[in-house]
Structure 1
Amino acid sequence: MSARNLAYRALATAFATTVVVAVAVQQPAAAAVTTLNATVDCGSVNYYGDMSDWYPSNIYYYSNSTGGPVSSYVAIPVNHKIQFSAAIPSGDTAVAVYAKCSAGTQYGDFYGSGGTVSFPAGVSTVNANWICYAAPVSPGPWVTNCSVQSYSYS
């Protein structure tokens, strides 16, 4: 056999081995996301009236690396809650929700604190319920603070 044929056979064998190894090695999965299933409720009852029948508005969510306004949601008429879902990167480990529960009052409404849920990186689903309370800040504007009522992840 000539040196040329040996070189061709060696190249062919190396190519075939590379193809077999490439097919046998499992390719990494596509970047996964964590699905946030959230419920937000207004619980304010104070001397200005019962705001627990008000729907939360202007809802925002923020995780470690993403977030923004909630644009798609479902209103639950029975208990005046808002439900929404969001996809957050699977490497994130926390998410907070902010809302307003007194939009439409005379002096306006401002965001206060947002309740934060912590969870391990890589979970597939986070289910969380937030409750938000609005209160007046003298001499006029209202501030809505949200806190976590309950949560779970899997």
Structure 2
Amino acid sequence: MFTVNSARRVLALGATLVTTGVLSAALAPTPAAAAAVTVQATVDCGNFNSYGDTWDSFPIDPSISASPYGAGGTPSIVSVPITNALRLTQTLPSGTTSVSVSAMCSRGHVYDFFGSADSVTIPAGVTTVTAAWKCYTAPVNPGPWRTDCYLQSASYS
């Protein structure tokens, strides 16, 4: 009789512990998902070369690159009043650690290509990055034109 009651008590205690563990796991609070990062980037050509003529013009084919997940879409692009700069706005996936902007400031040559682009490191907890890039084009001997973009400023919020 004593062993039957002890066995029942052990089984009841085991069932209680299992139920408590399952409920604890099911009802435990989950951490909030990290917020996405919104990038507001301004890109401008410091010089522009079109078919050998130079003048101030809007950047061509501006794009945003992000690490480690990529930009994940196409930015919205608007012109900045009274300048030939463009403003790009894009929401990047949460966990994005850096962003860069590239554009072309030449056209009409046999070869026009994108060069390097400085990147901005995004600190943890930041939800908005506002940054400006200035791009310059130059010939690379024996003749293609390469555009490199340099970070001018960056702020976070």
Distance 2:99 2:106 in 1: 23
Query: For the aligned residues, what is the CA RMSD?
Result: 3.1
Report the 3-state secondary structure (helix = DSSP H, G, I; strand = E; otherwise coil) of the residue aligned with 1:2: helix
CA distance 1:122–1:69, change in 2 (3 Å): closer
TM-score, length basis structure 1: 0.74
- 1:133 match: 136
| 8 Å CA contact 1:128, 1:151 repeated in 2 | yes
| 8 Å CA contact 1:36, 1:87 repeated in 2 | yes
Query: Within the alignment, does 1:119 sit opposite 2:110 as a pair?
Result: no
- Structure 2 unmatched ranges of 5 or more: none
Distance 1:69 1:49 in 2: 34
Considering only CA atoms, is the larger Rg found in Structure 1 or Structure 2? 2
- 1:90 match: 95
Letter in 2 for 1:22: A
Letter in 1 for 2:90: S
Matches within 5 A, 1:51-90: 51=56, 53-54=57-58, 56-67=59-70, 71-76=74-79, 78=81, 79-80=83-84, 81-90=86-95
Identity %: 36
Distance 2:8 2:48 in 1: 89
| 8 Å CA contact 1:42, 1:101 repeated in 2 | yes
Question: How many aligned residue pairs are there?
Answer: 150
| 8 Å CA contact 1:34, 1:126 repeated in 2 | yes
Distance 1:69 1:4 in 2: 59
CA distance 1:34–1:77, change in 2 (3 Å): closer
TM-score, length basis structure 2: 0.72
Letter in 2 for 1:119: I
